[in-house]
Amino acid sequence: MRKSIISMLLAATFMLLVAGCSNDDKNTITFWTPLTGDDGAYMDEIVKEYNATDPEIKVKHVITSDMYTKLSTVLNSGKGIPDLTIIHADRVPSYVKQGVLEPMTNVVAEQSELKEENYLPQAWSVGNIDDTQYTIPLDIHSNAMYYNEDLLKKYNVENFLDDDVVTFDEMLSLQGKLDEGDYVLNDALLSWVILAQVQNLGGDIQENGEPAVNTDVMRQAIEAVKELSDAGLMTPYGEDGYLMFQSGNVLFSTDGTWSSTAHADVEGLNFGVTNIYAFEPDKYTNRASSHLFSMLKSDSRTEEKEKGIAQFLDFIRQNSMEWAEAGQIVASKEVNESPEYEQYMQSFFTSNEKETESLYIYTYEYYAYVQEALDKYILDIAHGEMDIDEGLETMEKFVIDKINESDNGEEKAE
């Protein structure tokens, strides 16, 4: 009974918050984002700068934790639907299938520069379903591999970076050659690394719309990474390899483009960035996603607000250098091709066509479940705490169970 009362109170509190952030104000665009970290502060600043231009309709940025669950709530009630949202790329196919996304047709018609050629191709295309554009991109956020310049010099392996791709064989060549307490790589964002290797091996996570997790390609990707762990080259199971990199004991850290800001704050850490390690230097992938502006279907969004949204999105297209400060790969070519952008470390990933092509965004409808399965089990498998056969079977079942829950009306995992 007590749990039921608490649940009712929480639900009532949320609905009050929704009412307070409703889109009934004709002079305000209510803008929901899931940016609960430092990136939320950067977006706050962008919105503040836009509102300072004195637009006819101003923007109110609402940072919304557990946003996808709350979006489901307001969609079901039909009340409090935000005028504008930021969603992740893998959400687009399912939202379109559910019929809850409003096409950007009117918005694009209002601002002629909101067009494909002005954005990174992957970021634009993930919002296009059956020749209808449902989103406008903000960024690509990618897996990245940072390297410790001092350790590369210490172990005389600076040549690993000659072709901008560190291979499995190169890392394995350091077996038995490191000082105690030093490691070649950590297991940061290891699930993303595995997804990159699946692409490097020519595989995928789905086949004809069905999940493909327990596959030969997935096994091969995991076995290759596990070999590094078995060789004692990876930071130990249960240790925080991200912090170990910042402490100067790890050559390579496979975290995210946004981490450059945190690494830069570490005194004495001399580091750079390159691609996620691969089997061969001529085929490499950096698993990526994208933050996308979208409009959920709403009867209360007026034409005037759509015009205001168009104006806001074109402002961001021209003025999102602030977003580069958050460590993101800005999708707007006007920004990412400017000389000023080159000062940001993530500009490496748009420095040439091959680098840009390496940014791979999964758009499989049930991608979120595959990602969740990998997040849940991959560390155990890679570090030998779970047998690979058992792990593959467990992950496949996890994904299938999640799909069945979704088909029965339960909320999709974030």
- Residue-range definition of the domain harbouring residue 31: 2-137+291-330
Let me know whether 147 and 263 are in one domain: yes
Residue 1 has pLDDT above 80, yes or no: no
Minimal CA–CA distance to 65: which of 23, 33, 31, 111? 33
Q: Last residue of some domain: 280, 311, 330?
A: 330
- Element (DSSP H or E) covering residue 127: none
- What is the overall mean pLDDT for the chain? 93
Let me know whether 259 and 297 are in one domain: no
End-to-end distance of the chain based on CA atoms, in angstroms?
Answer: 29
Sorted by sequence, the CB contacts under 8 Å of residue 120 that are 6+ apart come out as: 137, 140, 329, 331, 333, 336, 350, 356, 359
From the CB of residue 250, how many other CB atoms can be counted at a distance below 10 Å?
25
Q: Provide mean pLDDT across the span 6-25.
A: 47
Minimal CA–CA distance to 370: which of 405, 331, 396? 396
For 84, 97, 302, 306, the CA distances from 102, given in Å and listed in that order, are: 10, 12, 13, 11
Q: Provide mean pLDDT across the span 178-193.
A: 98
Percent of the chain with pLDDT over 90: 90
Asked if residue 251 lies in contact with residue 119, where contact means CB atoms within 8 angstroms, the answer is no
Residue 10 has pLDDT above 60, yes or no: no
Residue 9 has pLDDT above 70, yes or no: no
| Residue 25 pLDDT | 79
Q: Provide mean pLDDT across the span 194-209.
A: 97
Q: Tens of pLDDT along 35-75?
A: 999 999 999 999 999 999 999 999 999 999 999 999 999 99
| Residue 24 pLDDT | 56
Please give the radius of gyration of the chain, using alpha carbons only, rounded to the nearest integer.
22
Asked if residue 85 lies in contact with residue 34, where contact means CB atoms within 8 angstroms, the answer is no
Let me know whether 261 and 159 are in one domain: yes
Residue 8 has pLDDT above 50, yes or no: no
Let me know whether 110 and 80 are in one domain: yes
Question: Is 91 within the bounds of a domain?
Answer: yes
Asked if residue 276 lies in contact with residue 193, where contact means CB atoms within 8 angstroms, the answer is yes
Tokens at residue 11, please? 């639900």
| Residue 322 pLDDT | 95
User: Could you tell me which residue, 379 or 23, shows the higher pLDDT?
Assistant: 379
Q: Tens of pLDDT along 360-376?
A: 999 999 999 999 999 99
Number of domains in the chain: 2
Question: Is 20 within the bounds of a domain?
Answer: yes
Let me know whether 179 and 100 are in one domain: no
Question: Is 34 within the bounds of a domain?
Answer: yes
Let me know whether 123 and 247 are in one domain: no
**Residue 14: pLDDT band with limits 50, 70, 90:** very low
Domain with residue 58: its CATH number is 3.40.190.10
Report pTM: 0.91
Let me know whether 175 and 282 are in one domain: yes
Q: Provide mean pLDDT across the span 192-217.
A: 97
The string of DSSP letters for 234-259 reads BPPTTS-HHHHHHTT-EEEE--BGGG
| Residue 383 pLDDT | 98
Partnered with residue 329 across adjacent β-strands are 140
Let me know whether 194 and 276 are in one domain: yes
Asked if residue 287 lies in contact with residue 192, where contact means CB atoms within 8 angstroms, the answer is yes
Spatial distance between the Cα atoms of 71 and 94, rounded to a whole number of angstroms: 14
**Residue 409: pLDDT band with limits 50, 70, 90:** low
Tell me, rounded to whole angstroms, the distance of Cα 414 from its chain centroid: 12
Q: Provide mean pLDDT across the span 280-290.
A: 97
From the CB of residue 54, how many other CB atoms can be counted at a distance below 10 Å?
7
Question: Is 335 within the bounds of a domain?
Answer: no
Q: Provide mean pLDDT across the span 135-154.
A: 98
| Residue 406 pLDDT | 82
| Residue 186 pLDDT | 98
Percent of the chain with pLDDT over 70: 93
Residue 252 has pLDDT above 90, yes or no: yes
Question: Is 351 within the bounds of a domain?
Answer: no
For 23, 43, 145, the CA distances from 349, given in Å and listed in that order, are: 37, 22, 11
| Residue 345 pLDDT | 97
Sorted by sequence, the CB contacts under 8 Å of residue 193 that are 6+ apart come out as: 143, 225, 254, 276, 277, 287
Burial classification of residue 202, based on how many CB atoms lie within 10 Å of its CB (0-12 exposed, 13-18 middle, 19 or more buried) = exposed
Question: Is 345 within the bounds of a domain?
Answer: no
Minimal CA–CA distance to 226: which of 1, 67, 383, 390? 383
Let me know whether 212 and 302 are in one domain: no
The helix/strand/coil state of 45 is helix
| Residue 5 pLDDT | 44
Question: Is 376 within the bounds of a domain?
Answer: yes
Residue 104 has pLDDT above 50, yes or no: yes
Question: Is 115 within the bounds of a domain?
Answer: yes
Q: Are strands 84-88 and 58-63 parallel, antiparallel or unpaired?
A: unpaired
Let me know whether 98 and 23 are in one domain: yes
Let me know whether 118 and 164 are in one domain: no
The helix/strand/coil state of 184 is strand
| Residue 26 pLDDT | 85
